[in-house]
Amino acid sequence: MHTTRRRRALVLAVAVLVALGALLVVRQVTSEAPPSAECAAAEAGIRVDPAAVPEGPVAGYAGEQLVNAAAIVNAGEALGLDTCAQVIGVMTAMGESSLRVLDRGDAVGPDSRGLFQQRANGAWGSYADRMDPTTSATNFFRALQEVEDWRSLPPTIAAHRTQRNADPDHYARYWDAAVEVVGALAGRPVLGTGT
């Protein structure tokens, strides 16, 4: 009799532990870290009419640079990303190429090309992909989405983990300008700040 009770109690204890373990796994999979302070006010992504891109200057960027920023914003929106991701994309391209499609690299990455200075290592597509603003931005955003809890990271760290830049704080100085540019492209303030 005691053996049967012990077995039942053991089976019940194992069942409870399995259920608790399953709940923990489900919670880890479904819970998302809270957004970073910079991205707390993010809203649905915006779409920019290329014909309505301001001539500039906006935060020191104009003409082709703003057209390239619009391509980045639209690539993020096409993937269903929010305004925070779009600003991170623009910030990253500001830090990599000053929003220009560069056909040259640097000493660290002589094979780097395009808006995001993506390397010819197979991870960023072909030369043509890296030189195309929409395709290179799409590839950047896909890589950003692979960064664990990217929304909760400071934007410069999210960009750093995507790009693997030598300096994790390299992009921080471009954040305010990127917010301003995306706001100008949207025709209204984004991320809770004025343009």
Digit-coded pLDDT (tens) for 108-134: 788 889 999 998 888 899 999 999 999
Cβ–Cβ under 8 Å, residues 125 and 104: no
SS3 126: coil
Q: How many CA atoms lie within 13 A of 41 on its CB side?
A: 8
Rounded CA separation 76/85 (Å): 7
- The class level of CATH for 37-186 reads mainly alpha
Domain limits, the chain: 1-31, 37-186
> Residue 166: what pLDDT?
85
pTM above 0.85, yes or no: no
Q: How crowded is residue 171: how many other Cβ atoms within 10 Å of its Cβ?
A: 26
Q: Give residue 195's pLDDT.
A: 38
Three-state DSSP class for 179? Answer: helix
Query: Where is pLDDT greater, at 14 or 8?
Result: 8
For residue 16, the tally of other CB atoms under 10 A from its CB is 10
